[in-house]
Structure 1
Amino acid sequence: MKKIATLLFVSILGGVLTLGSYKLFFDENPEQFLPQDSSQQNTFLPVTNNNRAYGTNVDFTAAAEKTIHAVVHVKNVAVFKNGPRSIWEYYPYNNNGGRALQGAGSGVIITPDGYIVTNNHVIDGASEIEVTLNNNKTYKAEVIGSDPISDIALIKVDAEEDLQYIPFGDSDNMEIGEWVLAVGNPFNLKSTVTAGIISAKARDLNMRDNSPQSFIQTDAAINPGNSGGALVNINGELIGINTAISSPSGSYIGYAFAVPSNNARKIVEDIMEFGDVQQGILGIRGRSLNNEIIREYDLNTSQGVMVAEVTPGSGAEKSGIRQKDIIRKIDNIEINKFSDLTGYINSKRPGDEVLVKLMRDGKEREVNVELSKLDTYRMTALGLEVANASPEELKAYKAPNGVRINRTLTDGLPSADLVGGIISEINGQNVSSVRDVEEIMQNRTRSNPIVIVFYTQKGEKQRMIWK
């Protein structure tokens, strides 16, 4: 009996020791035994619900493989019917027959049947356009249309097979710090891929409130020849058309700019459907907030756009927007400066409706605004406002093309006698729309005189010079 009791006691003691050892080594408080070493932490979160990739271990190979065969080399070739102007015009192209290479850049195939987006400055002035694919096949390209103001052009090749293309992504959803790839042909080096991040959005290179631009800024290496190439996200979606660099030497120093894909896509669709760009406008003139405006109007906000003027008859006027209103948000886009506003509005068409959140007298308001069509332009240097002319008006004035002089901007100017006439030419360039006028006036040399050719209401052709 004593042996049994002893055996039972030893068994119980063994169980207690085993349980104690288990509690000692496998307690629920792991910090005491498994201290975390920060040097071993995984810094890469490969995927989130919004498909964004983070960290420094991002694999770019899939995005590169999806896009590299859809970016082409674009050559701008000029043909001199009367021969070259000098022997050097033969040299860059190394060919005979009065053909010379004017320039080269990149392009992005956006449909399998051969539509290609590039920059207007890549194909501007070309007599012929040659497109070379990544497989070294070369095709002649046709210009479908272009928009010099946004620097976007659409060209097309007829290939014997479906081509690889890059689908459009949503540039509004891109975030600062997000990874991107630039794909193009810098220095005629075909099929080059560089990586970087989005450094800024809605960047305005003009730095002027009356003519704001809206670019994506990136630190991906972009050099001459990259123009017209693709800026893509980690999923291989097109989120920008590489357009410009900011550099004293003309080469990469960390600042490059791309037209947002939403703007480029809208321009391309307009060209394909309407033949030109259908630009919707809010119907205001405004200024980005700065310290001077904040102090002058005693504002309690430092970001937004102050409405300086509301265009009569515009969607803004009809919705009740007033002078001195502060626009803070349009749809889901924060408006911190004027280029934020124009960048988003330029992706819309006339007739589209947007929700505008604004501040008036310190109180927030929301109004729905139907965008109207850009059909007037103020030529402040001439004191004139011009509007698109109808075919009937051109016929009545015996003008082959032109815009109508709508009104004067200042009383007493000599230009008041021109009201009702048709301007057909500015500084030697034909004009057919207010966008043509806007482009010429923005790109002119300020010190040079302005020369216009116009038709009076009697159909008389005249010429006038403003110095």
Structure 2
Amino acid sequence: MFRNLCLAALLSLSPIGALAQTAVPASEAEISLSFAPVVKAAAPAVVNIYATRIVEARRSPFADDPFFNQFFEAFGPTEPRIQNSLGSGVIVSADGIVVSNYHVVGQATEIRVVLNDRREYAADVMLADQESDLAVLRLRDAADLPVLELRNSDELEVGDLVLAIGNPFGVGQTVSSGIVSGLARSALQVADGRGYFIQTDAAINPGNSGGALVDVQGRLVGINTAILTQGGGSNGIGFAIPANLVQSIVSQAEAGATRFARPWAGVTGQAMDAALAEGLGLARPDGVLISGLHPKSPFAAAGLQAGDVILSLGGEPTNTPQEVIFRLSALGVGAEAEIVWLRDGEEMRAVMVLAAAPDDPPREQTTVTADVALRGLTVVRINPAVADELRLPMQAEGVAVLQAEDLAARAGFQPGDVILGINGAAVARPSDVEALAGMEARVWVVDLLREGRQVRLRFRF
């Protein structure tokens, strides 16, 4: 009997058995034969992307001197320089909608997309979001293209088999296999913020960015975006942006949006740990403790208060602040979601309506155009929408710099600066900046808050 079982197992793994397999693997035994059917189904929808951007580089008069060049890199006139990037993308619509990473195509002046069958298309950016590191492209004059179906990424489990498909190092389309080795990874610094990722040990290398992470049914579960490495190579720790967030961004792009609108949280919080859980009398350190709450926050409207512990949102657990933001972003503006939280040991529930940050009070946007020291400075009154756009603290108030050009740029102003005072006079409204900009002064002193630090600009006019 034992010999017969061994013989049957050997036959099931023989080349004859592998050749006979033509369908998508549906069991562990079939998967052990080959991933070829999955690759044949998924690979045509994964593309190579070649992006070109023009950047301004300074030509230092000491560029040829190995000693002085290190001190004078920022001196000298600027000159345009062409910068190329290589990456991958995934076709998600037969009429030519492609998803990739922001760091591959963001701010590109020319984008060429090459399909698996060598067809080439020019592409335009429909929507680019630096914070999530995602971008949506439209291929020009494209039709009847192969597509990848998006899977609900919340269904993934650690241990699920996955394939990473992309163009690493520009060598051509390549497939690597692995498993989902972690979920809800949120400590990785990618693009413009801290995201929420699927972790995999499928090899992801430079050029794989924007490529597909697919399951054994050939469905898209994530967009490959980064690796964690100390030596520059793949060490079996790769990260992908979950398909649920991809779907939300694609839906907004298809609706005509050019900027990704996230539901506003209006809360600050921290992940629970054992010490916090013990202090609150909780059996387990689950959830996110709310430390601050804006009065106009949708969480406040749903009945939450500072000190509450958010357990789940939309039926999914939330254990880090990044996970809360991901859940909001994936659900989208206008959606309704059940929220579950703890207060004094009692579990509470409510339905929360997700909305964008309110643009109230009015921005009162003002630009200094007169021939004065602050010429070219555009300022706005801080409200929740402005704070969200400029990534200011939730409690920020007063006047913020929206744009700095001309003399204002030379003086050192930067977008996101919060202006506290000008030449000793307090600033509370944009009109104050416009009025103070006209004062007679040779030396100017401007007090700012920049990334939480107090900064003082001094300049002459």
TM-score by length of 1: 0.70
Among candidates 369, 373, 381, match of residue 404 of structure 1: 381
1:65–1:159 distance in 2 versus 1, CA, 3 Å: farther
In the TM superposition, what is the alpha-carbon distance from 1:41 to its structure 2 partner? 7.9
Structure 1 counterpart of 2:136 = 154
The separation in 2 between residues aligned to 1:419 and 1:220, in whole angstroms, is 46
The answer on 1:65 being equivalent to 2:47 is no
CA contact (8 A) 2:87 2:104 kept: yes
In the TM superposition, what is the alpha-carbon distance from 1:201 to its structure 2 partner? 1.1
Which stretch shows the higher mean deviation, 234-243 or 364-373? 364-373
In the TM superposition, what is the alpha-carbon distance from 1:241 to its structure 2 partner? 0.6
1:259-270 matched pairs, under 5 angstroms:
259-270=241-252
Among candidates 337, 355, 368, match of residue 320 of structure 2: 337
In the TM superposition, what is the alpha-carbon distance from 1:184 to its structure 2 partner? 0.4
Among candidates 307, 330, 333, match of residue 350 of structure 1: 333
The separation in 1 between residues aligned to 2:261 and 2:56, in whole angstroms, is 36
The separation in 1 between residues aligned to 2:436 and 2:343, in whole angstroms, is 49
Structure 2 counterpart of 1:252 = 234
- Encode CA deviations 1:238-264: one digit per residue, 9 max, x unaligned: 111110000012221010001111111
In the TM superposition, what is the alpha-carbon distance from 1:221 to its structure 2 partner? 0.7
Structure 1 counterpart of 2:52 = 77
1:447-466 matched pairs, under 5 angstroms:
455-457=430-432, 459=434, 465=448, 466=454
CA contact (8 A) 1:231 1:239 kept: yes
Structure 2 counterpart of 1:177 = 159
The separation in 1 between residues aligned to 2:403 and 2:170, in whole angstroms, is 37
The separation in 2 between residues aligned to 1:388 and 1:189, in whole angstroms, is 53
Structure 2 counterpart of 1:117 = 99
- Encode CA deviations 1:377-408: one digit per residue, 9 max, x unaligned: xxxxxxxxxx7966xx337988996643249x
Structure 1 counterpart of 2:401 = 423
- Encode CA deviations 1:439-463: one digit per residue, 9 max, x unaligned: x99xxxxxxxxxxxx9545645967
RMSD of the alignment, in Å? Answer: 4.1
In the TM superposition, what is the alpha-carbon distance from 1:177 to its structure 2 partner? 0.9
1:406–1:329 distance in 2 versus 1, CA, 3 Å: closer
CA contact (8 A) 2:271 2:289 kept: yes
Structure 1 counterpart of 2:393 = none
The one-letter code matched in structure 2 to 1:127 is T
The answer on 1:368 being equivalent to 2:368 is no
CA contact (8 A) 2:176 2:203 kept: yes
Structure 1 counterpart of 2:169 = 187
The separation in 2 between residues aligned to 1:70 and 1:388, in whole angstroms, is 46
SS, match of residue 217 in structure 1: strand
CA contact (8 A) 1:73 1:106 kept: yes
The separation in 2 between residues aligned to 1:138 and 1:251, in whole angstroms, is 29
SS, match of residue 293 in structure 1: helix
1:53–1:394 distance in 2 versus 1, CA, 3 Å: farther
- Encode CA deviations 1:142-191: one digit per residue, 9 max, x unaligned: 11120000000111212454211112111111111111111100011222
CA contact (8 A) 2:265 2:325 kept: no
CA contact (8 A) 2:368 2:378 kept: no
1:41–1:310 distance in 2 versus 1, CA, 3 Å: farther
In the TM superposition, what is the alpha-carbon distance from 1:198 to its structure 2 partner? 0.8
In the TM superposition, what is the alpha-carbon distance from 1:371 to its structure 2 partner? 1.7
- Encode CA deviations 1:417-466: one digit per residue, 9 max, x unaligned: x96545222799x9xxxxx978x99xxxxxxxxxxxx9545645967654
Structure 2 counterpart of 1:197 = 179
In the TM superposition, what is the alpha-carbon distance from 1:306 to its structure 2 partner? 1.2
Structure 1 counterpart of 2:111 = 129
In the TM superposition, what is the alpha-carbon distance from 1:309 to its structure 2 partner? 1.8
Larger Rg: 1
- Encode CA deviations 1:22-74: one digit per residue, 9 max, x unaligned: xxxxxxxxxxx999979978999xxxxxx985466264222211211111111
SS, match of residue 51 in structure 2: strand
The one-letter code matched in structure 2 to 1:196 is G
CA contact (8 A) 1:112 1:165 kept: yes
Which stretch shows the higher mean deviation, 272-281 or 330-339? 330-339
1:62–1:35 distance in 2 versus 1, CA, 3 Å: closer
1:138-149 matched pairs, under 5 angstroms:
138-149=120-131
The separation in 1 between residues aligned to 2:153 and 2:230, in whole angstroms, is 28
List alignment gaps of at least 5 residues for structure 2: 14-24, 64-79, 370-375, 388-395, 409-413, 419-428, 438-445, 449-453, 456-461
The one-letter code matched in structure 1 to 2:43 is I
The separation in 2 between residues aligned to 1:281 and 1:119, in whole angstroms, is 23
CA contact (8 A) 1:314 1:372 kept: no
1:421–1:349 distance in 2 versus 1, CA, 3 Å: same
1:427–1:213 distance in 2 versus 1, CA, 3 Å: farther
CA contact (8 A) 2:153 2:242 kept: yes
CA contact (8 A) 2:126 2:137 kept: yes
1:175–1:389 distance in 2 versus 1, CA, 3 Å: farther
1:59–1:456 distance in 2 versus 1, CA, 3 Å: farther
List alignment gaps of at least 5 residues for structure 1: 1-32, 45-50, 87-97, 377-386, 410-417, 431-435, 442-453
1:9-28 matched pairs, under 5 angstroms:
none
1:203–1:272 distance in 2 versus 1, CA, 3 Å: same
**Percent of pairs identical after alignment?**
29
In the TM superposition, what is the alpha-carbon distance from 1:267 to its structure 2 partner? 1.5
1:160–1:367 distance in 2 versus 1, CA, 3 Å: closer
Among candidates 300, 304, 315, match of residue 283 of structure 2: 300
1:58–1:286 distance in 2 versus 1, CA, 3 Å: farther
1:375–1:242 distance in 2 versus 1, CA, 3 Å: farther
The answer on 1:275 being equivalent to 2:250 is no
The one-letter code matched in structure 1 to 2:93 is T
1:333–1:160 distance in 2 versus 1, CA, 3 Å: closer
The one-letter code matched in structure 2 to 1:306 is L
Structure 2 counterpart of 1:449 = none
SS, match of residue 382 in structure 2: strand
In the TM superposition, what is the alpha-carbon distance from 1:128 to its structure 2 partner? 1.1
TM-score by length of 2: 0.70
1:300–1:401 distance in 2 versus 1, CA, 3 Å: same
